[in-house]
Amino acid sequence: MIKEALLRYKWYALGSILLVTTVVVTTLLQPSYLKEVLTAVLMNDQAEIFRVGKWLLVIAGVGLLAGMCNTIVAAKIAQGVSADVREQTFRKIQSFSYANIEEFNAGNLVVRMTNDVTQIQNLIMMSFTVLLRVPLLFIGAFFMAVRTLPELWWMIIVMVVVIASIMAIVMKHMGPRFGKFQVFMDKMNGIAKENLRGIRVVKSFVQEREQYAKFKETSNDLLDLNLFIGYGFSILQPVMMFVSFMAIFTSLYLVSGMVEDNLEVVGGFTSFMSYLMQIMFSIIMTSFMGMNAARAAISIKRINEILETEPAMTFVDTPDEDLAGNIVFDNVSFTYPHDTEPTLKNISFEIESGQMVGVVGATGAGKSTLAQLIPRLFDPQEGTVSIGGRDLKAVNQKTLRQTVSIARGVIGNPKVLVLDDSTSALDAKSEKLVQEALNHDLKGTTTVIIAQKISSVVKADKILVLDEGRLIGEGTHAELVANNAVYREIYETQKGKEED
């Protein structure tokens, strides 16, 4: 996926490679010219100082300009690729069914589209500004350093081996923590989103302290992890600097006996120190690249999990058709992802075209789940749901969306209308007006009303009673009051409250 996105910026990438090469070449040339300038200063050769100094300024200027241009090009590539990845990820999520969203968790998906894509963007930016530069600079600086003072080649090898070993040890312990960092971020964002969306429930049940404690625990876990990673890298940099200064001190000690009357050795040592610092810079930047690469690798894996996930529900590619409004549930059972117990169990019923049907039951009985199966927001694991004599799995998406509307209000003029708890917040007078409007405006429309209040469905042609995911009653209001204990209990409880 990222490779495909990068291919769209291949010419920018080629330009970046050329610019980085220019930066490296000019960086490697500068110590050599600096050596000549220093030698000329010691020999008091003004003409040579001016001649070499002029070229040194030109080379430094070219390197500076190439570096600035490469930063702009790298930013263009990083921003473009991250935008493509973000759009592809969002487009993929748009194709997900409710089951896929439940599987990932909405908060988790938001983190992946934002934080994870940003990690990938940072990696691409560093790749075209640092990663391309580091190996070229390391190899070139090593070659030039040995060429300048071949007697000290062994010291460079020792410095590189020591620092590389320290880096490997630190990264071995840091690497696994980056995966945990993303997990804690997901968890913390999920808690925050859950609380903000359900703030009324939190306030109503005075759960502020409990929710704060839950959030604080996750936040502290994230803090501890960040501190651990910070401690690791805070140790790494001073140790690398210590090794570098030891290398410089050793070089000074060894070169001091070589100077005597040979002034060129002084210039050569200055040049050697510059190359040594370039080697050191390459190693330090490699450690930072390793840290960013470890984080980005986790992020790439998480983005690929989204892109490689097949939608749990797909629609057939068939011609549009005009469906009748009759609905049939045939032995339907449904279980939400991550749940062990089914929400609906062996539900079977039939609704004739144009009927108004109410669905009642206690909280958690499965009413809203049943409503979500009618427009095929979920697919049942067992049984079939049919509209107009057609299994919903055999109907294309456009036809289904034109046929069925699920809402808390009346939208359009569908063949089937599902109203999920649309009058729960209304008083008796307003509810009566809504019922009259439904009876007048929706003649011929199959209407399924999910209701908490019996008064919302008392005039329905048929009422379905759910209890713990099972259909335990079916009939008119009068029939259910006479024959169904659960319905009668709900009705009498609500009637008593209205009288009070």
Buried/exposed code over 441-475 (b: 16+ C-beta within 10 A; e: otherwise): ebeebbbbbbbbbbbbbbebebbbbbbbbbbebbb
**pTM of the entire predicted model:** 0.68
Q: What is the mean pLDDT of residues 347-358?
A: 90
Residue 434 is predicted with a pLDDT of 61
What is the per-residue pLDDT across 160-195, written as a single tens digit (0 to 9) for each? 888 888 877 777 777 677 667 777 877 787 787 777
Q: Where in the chain is the domain with CATH 1.20.1560.10?
A: 1-308
Mean pLDDT of 45-50: 79
Task: Output the six-digit token pair for 25.
Answer: 């070449």
| Tokens at 357, concatenated | 């049907």
- What letter represents residue 457's amino acid? V
Q: Give the pairing of strands 446-450 and 470-475.
A: unpaired
Residue 258 pLDDT > 80: no
Enumerate residues 6+ apart whose C-beta is below 8 A from 291: 171, 174, 233
Choose the CATH number for 327-496 among 3.40.50.150, 3.40.50.300, 3.40.190.80, 3.40.1010.10: 3.40.50.300
Q: What pLDDT sits at residue 346?
A: 92
Nearest Cα residue to 474 out of 325, 326, 329, 377: 329
Report which of 280, 445, 208, 467 is spatially closest to residue 362, judged by C-alpha positions: 467
For 382-424, the pLDDT digits (tens) are 999 998 888 888 888 877 877 776 654 555 667 888 887 665 5
What integer pLDDT is reported at residue 470 of this predicted model? 92
Helix (H, G, I), strand (E, B) or coil at 470: strand
Q: Which residue has the tokens 């109410």?
A: 358
- Tell me the torsion sign for CA atoms 54, 55, 56, 61: positive
Q: Which pLDDT score is estimated for 432?
A: 63
Phi, psi of 329 (to 5 degrees): -105, 120
Tens digit of each residue's pLDDT (9 = 90 or more) over 201-220: 777 677 788 888 888 888 88
Q: Which H helix or E strand runs over 56?
A: helix 46-94
What would the mean pLDDT of 113-138 be, rounded to a whole number? 88
Q: What is the pLDDT of residues 128-170, one digit of tens each?
A: 888 888 888 889 988 888 888 888 788 888 888 888 888 777 7
Q: Is the pLDDT of residue 280 over 70?
A: yes
Which residues touch 331 (CB under 8 Å, ≥6 apart)? 346, 347, 348, 382, 383, 384
Give the percent of the chain with pLDDT over 70. 88
Q: What is the reported pLDDT for 440? A: 61
Instruction: State the span(s) of the chain assigned CATH 3.40.50.300.
Output: 327-496
Question: At the topology level of CATH, where does 1-308 sit?
Answer: ABC transporter transmembrane region fold (1.20.1560)
CB neighbour list of residue 487: distance below 8 Å, 6 or more residues apart:
360, 454, 463, 465, 473, 480, 481
Q: Average pLDDT in the 243-250 region?
A: 79
What mean pLDDT do residues 270-286 have? Answer: 82
Report how far apart, in Å, the C-alpha atoms of 421 and of each of 368, 425, 456 are: 8, 9, 9
- The CA distance from 322 to 238, in Å, is 74
What's residue 7's pLDDT?
81
Instruction: Return the percentage of the chain with pLDDT > 90, whole number.
Output: 14
Average pLDDT over the chain reads 81
Which pLDDT score is estimated for 411?
Answer: 56
Output the CA–CA distances (angstroms, integers) from residue 16 to 23, 121, 416, 471, in the order listed. Answer: 10, 16, 58, 66
Give pLDDT, residue 447.
86
Residue with tokens 């890298």: 233
Q: Give, in order, the Cα–Cα distances in Å from 401 to each of 246, 323, 415, 434, 494.
A: 73, 11, 10, 24, 35
In this predicted model, which residue has the larger pLDDT, 441 or 448? 448
Predicted pLDDT at 198:
75
